[in-house]
Amino acid sequence: MGEALCNSCYYTAMRTHGQCPGCGHQGVLPGRRNSTDDRPVCLHCAGVNDAVVRCRSCALEGEMYRQGHCAQCALRHDLQHLAGARIDTPECASLIEALCSVDRPESILTWKRSSAVHALLVGLLGGSIAFTHQALDDVEHTRATEHLRSILIEHGLLPVRDQYLANFERWIEAKLATLDNSDSRSDLERFTRWHHLRRIRTIAAAGKATNGPVRSAKQEITETAKFLNWLHTEHHRTAATCNQHDVDEYLAGGPTTRHHIRTFFIWARQAKLNQSIVIGHRHAATTPVLHQDQRVALIRDLIVGTVDTLQYRVAGLLLLLYAQPVSKIVTLTVDDLLLAPSDMRLRLGAEPVPVPAPFAVLIYELLEGRANLRTTTMRSSWLFPGYRAGQHINAQTCMQRLRRLGIDLRGTRNGTLRELVREVPAPILADMLGYSTQVTQNHGDLAGQTYARYASTPRSR
């Protein structure tokens, strides 16, 4: 017989399956072969009672979670108890199967201990909450609600919808309520719905990312609401009756973010609400640019160091090597990688770009062990899967992690573009990186590159 392990090694072995070197049995290996052979052996060879490590429900070997049942069976029992008589309905059966089929059911058991999650599961499985977006919108809006919604979408229990657009529509109602004057509230509502909301709906219908447009729209609407409140409080006027002096006074008396009201007055001119106000473009006093020696040092740290997890190191290198905005980086998919025996290419624009070998090695490592694929997301096409089922990592979270690494996002993009445009003609670089020719040409002019009059660049006679 084999030799039993200590408690620590025993519970570690419970999580490790393999083939027993003594009898060839495939299962958990909770013992050692003998005092001179440290190779782990199966239950029979170790002389361990299999009732200790064999689930009473499914008979699988492994670590028991509760009263002789594995974590998966314990989770299934809890969910079936919540469903009660509705256990055989298609929606309940599909949700239970989706939660129980994950690689780590222990994480679901921990997650559902939350009172908010428990209440949602009771409502969905018990029948008081319908399997619809509207029903989930009617309950309290929490992170648990959105997380469970993403699980339902991922497993086909709810239709796909743009979460940023839906949250924006809900946010609009709350923002309009912050205006006391009815005329100002009406003006802001028209601007919000007929300019921003209609534009974002068009973007969503085209299948494009709406995260960035929604954030930009929120900022412009917020600043416009502040201006309209100030205008009513200080001068008892509305957008239709204000004058240029009012606007100039407001812009001069606060931070530069107040210039975001410019879009509102462009719309007001087109809507014939007020055609007398003119607000010019605001040009930044300085443009941050990352120096090449700093860029090279950051690239080296991300490739050979352990400054952060692998996915954020890869995200940082995509910014440092290809000047990609973070909002685009997080939406890259596995299909954007073109793998060949001799090289790797990445589709960022019309023409795939080559991936240097040291960076390609990190991407291959990332593909072998992408995060967040062991719970409610089992398969994902995102290169950077998020913790919510079917979604990529949040752009703001990624930005914060890169800033902690000392990366100035805007300065890095500017510095990288100016280095790249010295090596590649601006029109070709634009096709490779997904930028407009105007952007790459402007950076080329600022960098003093030798391709400023490249043949493909349009020139006026």
**Domain tally, the chain:** 4
If you average pLDDT over residues 218-222, what whole number do you get? 96
Indicate the residue type of 84: G
Q: In this structure, are 169 and 120 located in the same domain?
A: no
Which of residues 115 and 33 earns the better pLDDT score?
115
Is there a single domain that holds both residue 169 and residue 148? no
Residues 243 and 212 in one domain: yes
CA–CA gap between residue 91 and residue 130 (Å, rounded): 10
Q: Is residue 65 part of a domain?
A: no
**Structural domain boundaries enclosing 383:** 292-407
pLDDT score at 34 = 66
Give me 76's structure tokens: 């299934």
* CA-based nearest residue to 405, from 334, 306, 336: 306
Question: Which of 9-23, 88-102, 370-384 has the least mean pLDDT?
Answer: 9-23
pLDDT, residue 442, reads: 86
With 0.95 as the threshold, say if the pTM is over it: no
53/43 Cα distance (integer angstroms):
9
Comparing 102 with 374, the larger pLDDT belongs to 102
394 burial type by CB count under 10 A (0-12 exposed, 13-18 middle, 19+ buried): middle
- Given a contact cutoff of 8 angstroms between Cβ atoms, the answer to whether 386 and 392 are in contact is yes
What confidence category does residue 17 fall into, taking pLDDT thresholds of 50, 70 and 90? low
Asked whether the predicted pLDDT for residue 329 surpasses 80, the reply is yes
d(CA 87, CA 161): 27
User: What pLDDT was estimated at residue 16?
Assistant: 57
Q: Is the same domain home to 186 and 258?
A: yes
Residues 170 and 254 in one domain: yes
Q: What's the confidence (pLDDT) of residue 7?
A: 46
**CA dist., res. 115 & res. 33, Å (int):** 47
Domain boundary among 136, 154, 172: 154
Instruction: Decide if 193 is inside a domain.
Output: yes
Per-residue model confidence as pLDDT tens digits over 253-265: 999 899 999 999 9
At 456 the pLDDT is 46
First to last CA, the chain: 93
79 φ, ψ (degrees, to nearest 5): -70, -40
For residue 50, what pLDDT is reported?
58
185 in the same domain as 263: yes
| Residues 446, 450, 452, 457, Cα dihedral to 10° | -140
Query: What was the pLDDT predicted at 78?
Result: 95
Measured between alpha carbons, how far is 308 from 404 in angstroms, rounded to an integer? 10
Residue 182 shares a structural domain with residue 101: no
Other beta carbons less than 10 A from residue 119's beta carbon = 17
Q: Is residue 403 part of a domain?
A: yes
What is the pLDDT of the chain when averaged over all its residues?
87
Residue 402 lies in a domain: yes
- Percent of the residues in the chain that have a pLDDT greater than 90, as a whole number: 63
Report which of residues 283 and 86 the model is more confident about.
86
Q: Which of 154, 189, 224 is the last residue of a domain?
A: 154
Residue 189: count other Cβ atoms within 10 Å of its Cβ. Answer: 16
Q: What pLDDT shows up at residue 5?
A: 45
pLDDT band for 31, please (50, 70, 90 cuts). low
Under the banding of pLDDT at 50, 70 and 90, the label for residue 222 is very high
Q: What is the DSSP letter of 192?
A: I
Residue for token digits 């979460």? 163
Are residues 266 and 207 both part of a single domain?
Answer: yes
In a domain? residue 200: yes
Q: What is the pLDDT of residue 45?
A: 73
> pLDDT: is 1 or 309 the higher one?
309
- Answer whether 323's CB lies under 8 Å from 416's CB: yes
Mean pLDDT of the region 391-417 = 93
User: Does some domain include residue 422?
Assistant: no
Structure tokens at 296: 């090279």
The residue assigned the tokens 């410019």 is 262
Alpha-carbon distance of 86 to 83, in angstroms, equals 5
Q: Which of 53, 59, 57 is nearest to 80 (CA)?
A: 57
Residues 6+ apart with CB under 8 A from 21: 33, 39, 41
pLDDT band per the 50, 70, 90 thresholds, residue 28: low
Look at residue 47 and tell me if it is in a domain: yes
- How far is Cα 431 from Cα 435, in angstroms, rounded to an integer? 7
Residue range 137-151: mean pLDDT, rounded:
91
Residue 252 makes CB contacts below 8 A (sequence gap 6+) with none
Flag whether pLDDT at 6 surpasses 90: no
**Residue % of the chain over a pLDDT of 70:** 88
What is the total residue count of the chain?
461
- Same domain? For 150 and 180 the reply is no
In a domain, 361, yes or no: yes
337 shares a domain with 305: yes
297 and 361: one domain? Answer: yes
Structural domain ending residue among the three candidates 94, 127, 154: 154
Question: What is the full DSSP assignment across 228-290?
Answer: HHHHHHHH---TTT--HHHHHHHHHTS-GGGGGGHHHHHHHHHTTS--S---PPPPPS-----
Supply the pLDDT for residue 312: 95
Higher pLDDT, 11 or 431: 431
